[in-house]
């Protein structure tokens, strides 16, 4: 079933990614954070994860590029709690950001959108001071992502029906990483791996005719396992369209 990607973005923009402490990474890791320029303070729609507008607006624009947490693109979509370490200015809960890009510089693990970076501060005045610092010491931990909805397949805009098919997997709950994606090859009766093109984008040339069935490998607290969508992508799929998998992970 085709999913309204625009409506899903609107829904997720108002969701606060609060940590479920019983499932979060218990300890914090020391690091540094900075921010990048943005005309509207949101994320970068051209981020290296390939998320497009999703990467700009997800989590109300509180997003970040990461360096060592990038993990060759597997880290795309992960959620983190980031707290700066200047008591008189920094909020005790810090900011909750979603990884949508790759970035590095000045020994930083997080290069945050202005909206994300501003949430490190206790109030507007404190945030203004932190912007003047430019780079701050932080501590971070991974926390579960929480979305009000199912995992969605988005056909990447670069796809060209029917000869080239590229896919993104969005709204992955919990602390799960999507490590690989496979497509069902009906004539061979086997699953065939898609190529990780860049970031979170997986693709194949000359996809099978007819409905497209996909499964993806998940690595998380429950181990490594495969999940198959309950809905096939229709045979007349369209670039830019999003399709509901009817799957939720915890």
Helix (H) or strand (E) holding 152: strand 152-155
Rounded distance between C-alpha atoms, residue 103 and residue 47, angstroms: 9
Tell me how far apart the alpha carbons of residues 43 and 112 are, in angstroms, rounded to a whole number.
8
pTM listed for this prediction = 0.88
Query: What's the pLDDT tens digit per position in 31-52?
Result: 999 999 988 999 999 999 999 9
**pLDDT for res 39:** 86
Tell me which residue of 124, 123, 69 sits closest to 101, measured CA to CA: 69
Q: Residue 78: which of 123, 25, 127 has the closest Cα? A: 25
Mean pLDDT, range 222-242, rounded to an integer:
95
Q: Buried b / exposed e across 207-226, counting CB within 10 Å, b at 16+? A: bbeeebbbebebebeeeeee
The 10s digit of each residue's pLDDT in 59-81 is 999 999 999 999 999 999 999 99
User: pLDDT of 79-138, one tens digit each?
Assistant: 999 999 999 999 999 999 999 999 988 889 999 999 999 999 999 999 999 999 999 999
- Residue 3 has a pLDDT of 53
Alpha-carbon gap, residue 206 to 167, rounded angstroms: 14
Backbone angles phi, psi at 110, to 5 degrees: -130, 125
């Amino acid at each position: 079933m085709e999913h309204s990607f625009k409506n899903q973005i609107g829904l997720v923009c108002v969701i606060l990614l609060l940590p479920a402490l019983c499932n979060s990474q218990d300890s914090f890791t020391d690091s540094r954070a900075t921010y990048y320029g943005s005309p509207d303070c949101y994320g970068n729609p051209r981020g290296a994860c390939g998320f497009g507008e999703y990467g700009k607006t997800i989590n109300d624009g509180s997003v970040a590029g990461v360096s060592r947490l990038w993990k060759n693109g597997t880290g795309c979509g992960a959620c983190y709690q980031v707290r700066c370490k200047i008591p008189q200015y920094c909020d005790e809960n810090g900011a909750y950001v979603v990884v949508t890009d790759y970035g590095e510089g000045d020994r930083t693990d997080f290069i945050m959108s202005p909206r994300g970076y501003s949430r490190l501060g206790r109030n507007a005045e404190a945030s203004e001071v932190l912007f003047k610092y430019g780079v701050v010491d932080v501590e971070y931990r991974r926390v579960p992502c929480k979305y009000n909805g199912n995992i969605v397949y988005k056909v990447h805009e670069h796809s060209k029906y029917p000869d080239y098919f590229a896919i993104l997997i969005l709204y992955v709950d919990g602390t799960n990483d999507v490590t690989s994606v496979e497509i069902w090859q009906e004539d061979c009766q086997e699953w065939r791996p898609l190529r990780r093109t860049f970031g979170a984008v997986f693709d194949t040339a000359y996809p099978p005719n007819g409905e497209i069935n996909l499964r993806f490998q998940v690595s998380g607290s429950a181990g490594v396992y495969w999940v198959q969508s309950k809905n096939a992508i229709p045979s007349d799929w369209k670039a830019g369209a999003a399709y509901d998998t009817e799957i939720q992970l915890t």
